[in-house]
Structure 1
């Protein structure tokens, strides 16, 4: 008896990948002037070669084309396929900021924030589609933890995050009143196949014409630039292709950033500038990295003595590390780029953790990506010039509005911190180590 064509739902992921690759081979054969003169023949030849129906071949290839989450097609049987959660990319920088402000608004209203209340407010105000458990993890990520007030547990911001924000806001307010130029710098990324999510189509056509967008995200460009009130810093644009996939922060490293900082930024900014940056690890390489618990006692003692710390004899390793921690906390920052900037008469100011919204360049990147998405040709050779073109087309008014928005956020948060401080001063708060919400 002749074997029946296999159904796509019964195929292993590797078999689906083979079908897709065979179809791609026949399609390229046609495009290169081979024996195929009709694209549909690629499907029929694939079906004949793999002993499957043409419908099954089309279904497999359509699923691959529709997969926009991976660099290469990912094939899974329906029974094993995990539902794509809408939370995967929900908490970008913007939505993390919304979540933070939702939390702080509870304090400002003198209302105890619980996970249930926060979840409901995020669903109402931001159409948050996820669970409380995911919300709990994101809150922990952006610097919140649980505390006890009168036996009832609620979420509160970590003291180190609050302190960093207060310190930064006071400093930025003082510096804005001076005549020194403020330089904001930031990085972002853009994919080769980045485009708009929707476009107009002819609804009167018998069959809708589908805009062909390449499968996957394609290669990725990393973009690094800096801007002052007078515009982007001349000669400071760095646009390069990433070598691998993943978070764009993983593509950068301290060597690349420090080289750019020294050769493209410092020579091109006004004297005595204030350079505002975030806390990315490659911005914060220490000149003299302190020892860790993995270091031996002799190394720890040597580092302490080099810093002028008196080290009594007979101390245990735990006691030595306590001295290291105290010295780091009391010492000034000792970062490579801070020293570079100081040697050129500039000063570096670091934004508090999880507060990228204080940097107006973040809003400019959204405009750059919007410009690219409408003009992208999906060719990596065209993408880099298009990025430079989009940067050059940022209007001065857009930058002024972005700076005004960032400064307003800073002023609003400074006032909010005073209100919240009075709120917490009326309670005795006990921090807890558990992440469970019993309310």
Structure 2
């Protein structure tokens, strides 16, 4: 049988056999055997295993850097441990850092290119990914490309920028009027949630850390609200959900609206401002606007309910154009907004991709930190522990979180003015291309 060519592919077990054969002949040489130089070791290994000398050298290259008789780990591609997806690196905090990294370039009167942003993220946040992954994240959080004097750079989508400006102006006015502001949100905690590291006795031969069960276990969803003075009494909702998919998939409009009416509204002061995000279960429409999938009769009916005069003989495309024209920014048409208004309250929604403006995000981090250090990994103990962690949050914790969120809002309002002046000095045109030539 002829020796296999150099490109011949072996599985991990075969590679380890080749390495062990070579090690055997190497030992024989060292013990005064018939082999007197390293080339003969390789030659005899190739002859014994029926593969080429070049392939033997290539597979054993890593072994030369190891200690004698220490076998390298030849892992097959299927058995290699997959790296943590880069998208998992960008939690709410890191997304906020990324957003501010882009804005900082504006403040310095520099065009924020992907290359510059990538270098800043590697330096400031030890970002482990490449530029292509970063490009996807930037697009996900509302950035797109614009042409500036023939160069391409990143800027927030106009709709996102508008929503942020509107929110910041609104909140600035509400804070100055000393309105009572309620912040609400949901989070999740898994049964096996714990700290990633802990101290162990390194001197003990059989040192054992805490045994964490495999898998994530059952999942609890936590829904609550608070103000700068603390959590709203009686507003905690903690329940077990199906342990599949994202926790947002486990919530629904019925559950949220029931909580909103029975646990939140009865426990907050009159004329409160309720801040929440735009999750789908927060935003069920009373009269959902028609879409291109709707028939003409449904579209016409919706327009007539809005008081729009609809001429006869219009095509479907013309009817949809009327729909677009008559969905006003202030006409949210949401069940929650209507319910709050009927009780004398007002809903203010966070701009997309700006969860950092909600101070309860910082509170959730403290709640989870408390749970992670005390978790017993039993679902029967987890729910009481979550309530205990909520009760452990002080009014001072909430004051600090609210102050931090308000400072972010003030800083971003000032930054928006700087960015606006910067962009006004260029001729900027949006581009559909995702390419950054820099």
TM-score by length of 1: 0.81
CA drift at 1:99: 0.5
Instruction: Give the Cα–Cα distance (whole angstroms) in 2 for the partners of residues 249 and 382 of structure 1.
Output: 23
Equivalent pair of 2:256/2:281 in contact (CA under 8 Å): yes
What SS does structure 2 have at the residue aligned with 1:388? helix
Distance 1:430 1:186, change over 3 A: same
Instruction: Give the Cα–Cα distance (whole angstroms) in 1 for the partners of residues 210 and 133 of structure 2.
Output: 35
CA drift at 1:185: 0.6
CA-to-aligned-CA distance 1:232-255 (integer Å, 9 cap, x gap): 111100000111322111111111
Equivalent pair of 2:227/2:398 in contact (CA under 8 Å): no
Distance 1:330 1:359, change over 3 A: closer
What SS does structure 2 have at the residue aligned with 1:133? helix
* 1:95 corresponding residue in structure 2: 94
CA drift at 1:314: 2.4
Equivalent pair of 1:86/1:130 in contact (CA under 8 Å): no
The yes-or-no answer on 1:342 pairing with 2:341 is yes
* 2:70 corresponding residue in structure 1: none
Q: Which moved more, 1:313-322 or 1:186-195?
A: 313-322
Gap regions ≥5 residues in structure 2: 1-10, 14-74
Instruction: Give the Cα–Cα distance (whole angstroms) in 2 for the partners of residues 85 and 241 of structure 1.
Output: 27
Equivalent pair of 2:222/2:237 in contact (CA under 8 Å): yes
Equivalent pair of 2:276/2:348 in contact (CA under 8 Å): yes
Instruction: Give the Cα–Cα distance (whole angstroms) in 1 for the partners of residues 354 and 379 of structure 2.
Output: 32
The yes-or-no answer on 1:269 pairing with 2:271 is no
Report 1:324-335 matches (<5 A).
Answer: 324-329=323-328, 332-335=331-334
CA drift at 1:310: 1.7
* 1:79 corresponding residue in structure 2: 77
CA drift at 1:9: 6.9
* 1:220 corresponding residue in structure 2: 219
CA drift at 1:312: 2.1
CA-to-aligned-CA distance 1:191-220 (integer Å, 9 cap, x gap): 000011111111111233232110011111
Instruction: Give the Cα–Cα distance (whole angstroms) in 2 for the partners of residues 404 and 269 of structure 1.
Output: 20
What SS does structure 2 have at the residue aligned with 1:80? helix
* 1:171 corresponding residue in structure 2: 170
* 1:28 corresponding residue in structure 2: none
Distance 1:141 1:86, change over 3 A: closer
CA-to-aligned-CA distance 1:291-341 (integer Å, 9 cap, x gap): 000011121111111111122222221111111111113552111001100
Equivalent pair of 1:146/1:156 in contact (CA under 8 Å): yes
The yes-or-no answer on 1:428 pairing with 2:437 is no
Equivalent pair of 1:188/1:223 in contact (CA under 8 Å): yes
User: Which has the higher Rg, Structure 1 or Structure 2?
Assistant: 2
Gap regions ≥5 residues in structure 1: 1-7, 11-76
* 1:396 corresponding residue in structure 2: 395
The yes-or-no answer on 1:129 pairing with 2:158 is no
Equivalent pair of 1:86/1:129 in contact (CA under 8 Å): no
Instruction: Give the Cα–Cα distance (whole angstroms) in 1 for the partners of residues 398 and 360 of structure 2.
Output: 8
* 1:65 corresponding residue in structure 2: none
Equivalent pair of 1:193/1:216 in contact (CA under 8 Å): yes
CA drift at 1:85: 3.0
CA-to-aligned-CA distance 1:359-407 (integer Å, 9 cap, x gap): 1110000000010011000000000000000000012211111111000
Instruction: Give the Cα–Cα distance (whole angstroms) in 2 for the partners of residues 169 and 208 of structure 1.
Output: 54
Distance 1:252 1:330, change over 3 A: closer
Computed over aligned residues only, the root mean square deviation of the Cα atoms, in angstroms, reads 1.5
Distance 1:262 1:78, change over 3 A: farther
Instruction: Give the Cα–Cα distance (whole angstroms) in 2 for the partners of residues 316 and 350 of structure 1.
Output: 35
What SS does structure 2 have at the residue aligned with 1:170? helix
Equivalent pair of 2:271/2:345 in contact (CA under 8 Å): yes
Equivalent pair of 1:103/1:113 in contact (CA under 8 Å): yes
Instruction: Give the Cα–Cα distance (whole angstroms) in 2 for the partners of residues 284 and 81 of structure 1.
Output: 44
Equivalent pair of 2:229/2:398 in contact (CA under 8 Å): no
Equivalent pair of 1:220/1:241 in contact (CA under 8 Å): yes
Q: How many residues align?
A: 366
Instruction: Give the Cα–Cα distance (whole angstroms) in 2 for the partners of residues 279 and 297 of structure 1.
Output: 29
CA drift at 1:229: 2.6
Equivalent pair of 2:87/2:137 in contact (CA under 8 Å): no
Moved over 3 A (4+): none
Equivalent pair of 2:145/2:154 in contact (CA under 8 Å): yes
Instruction: Give the Cα–Cα distance (whole angstroms) in 2 for the partners of residues 231 and 198 of structure 1.
Output: 30
CA-to-aligned-CA distance 1:1-51 (integer Å, 9 cap, x gap): xxxxxxx977xxxxxxxxxxxxxxxxxxxxxxxxxxxxxxxxxxxxxxxxx
CA drift at 1:86: 5.1
Instruction: Give the Cα–Cα distance (whole angstroms) in 1 for the partners of residues 205 and 242 of structure 2.
Output: 44
What SS does structure 2 have at the residue aligned with 1:154? strand
Instruction: Give the Cα–Cα distance (whole angstroms) in 2 for the partners of residues 136 and 236 of structure 1.
Output: 40
Instruction: Give the Cα–Cα distance (whole angstroms) in 1 for the partners of residues 99 and 393 of structure 2.
Output: 29
* 2:372 corresponding residue in structure 1: 373
Instruction: Give the Cα–Cα distance (whole angstroms) in 1 for the partners of residues 174 and 183 of structure 2.
Output: 13
